[in-house]
Amino acid sequence: MNLSSAAVRVRRMKLADLDRVIEIAESLREAPQWPRSAYLTALDPEATPRRIALVAEDSVSSAVVGFTVASLLPPQAELETIAVAQAAQRRGLARRLFTTLSAELNSAQVAQINLEVRASNLPALGLYRLLGFAETGHRTHYYHDPVEDAVLMRLRLIYPASQARIL
C-alpha cells in the first residue's frame, strides 16, 4: 500500500465502516478484540459515556485504513484504542488520527487524556511518548492472553481560556 498521511482523510466513524474496522482490529495482535456491539455503542450518541470514534480513509480508494475511539468524561477522556492496518503502518496515520481526535477532545473541553497499553507494545509506547504522553503507573497482570502488565499514561491538553472551566 503506497499511502502517506497526506493521502488520508480523517472523519467520524459510520455504521458502514464497522466491518472494515473489525477486520483491522482482528488482524492486529495488539488491538483490542471488541465485539461488534462495543463498536455500535461507540457510534451511539446516546451512550454513556459518550465516545468519539474516527476513521482514517484513503482519499483515493475510500478504504478505511485505521481508526480510533475515545470515551469522554470531561474534563478527562480515555483513549480506548487507536489502530492502523498493518500495510499502512509507519506512515504517520496514527499520529494523524490522534491529532484530529485531540482537536475534537479540545472542543469538548477535555483537559486530560488517559490510556493503558500493554507493556510489550513498544511501537505504541513509542507513539504515545512522541505524542507527549507521560507514564503514570503500571497495572500488574492487567491483560490476559497472554497475561501482561499495563502501562498507564496521561497527556494534558490545553484548550483555549475562553472555553476553560474551573476544574
Q: How many residues does the chain have?
A: 167
Reduced to 3 states, what is the DSSP secondary structure of residue 14?
coil
The pTM (predicted TM-score) of the whole model is 0.88
Which grid cell sits at 74? Answer: 470531561
Catalytic residue list contains 30: no
Catalytic annotation present for 128:
yes
Question: pLDDT 10s digit of each residue in the chain, 167 long?
Answer: 555 556 899 999 999 999 999 999 999 988 888 999 999 999 999 999 999 999 999 988 999 999 999 999 999 999 999 999 999 999 999 999 999 999 999 989 899 999 999 999 999 999 999 999 999 999 999 988 789 999 999 999 875 544 444 33
pLDDT at position 7: 86
| Active-site residue, selected from the candidate residues 116, 135, 143, 148 | 116
Give which of 127, 144, 118, 137 is closest to 66, Cα–Cα: 127
CATH architecture of 5-163: 3-Layer(aba) Sandwich (3.40)
Residue ranges per domain, the chain?
5-163
pLDDT tens figures, 120-143: 999 999 999 999 999 999 999 998
Residue 62 has a CB neighbour count (10 Å cut-off) of 8
Active-site residue, selected from the candidate residues 128, 142, 148, 159: 128
Reported as a single tens digit per residue, the pLDDT across 59-84 is: 889 999 999 999 999 999 999 999 99
Question: Per DSSP, which regions of the chain are E strands?
Answer: 8-12, 50-58, 64-73, 76-84, 112-118, 134-143, 148-156
Q: Check whether the bond before 49 is cis (ω within 30° of 0).
A: yes
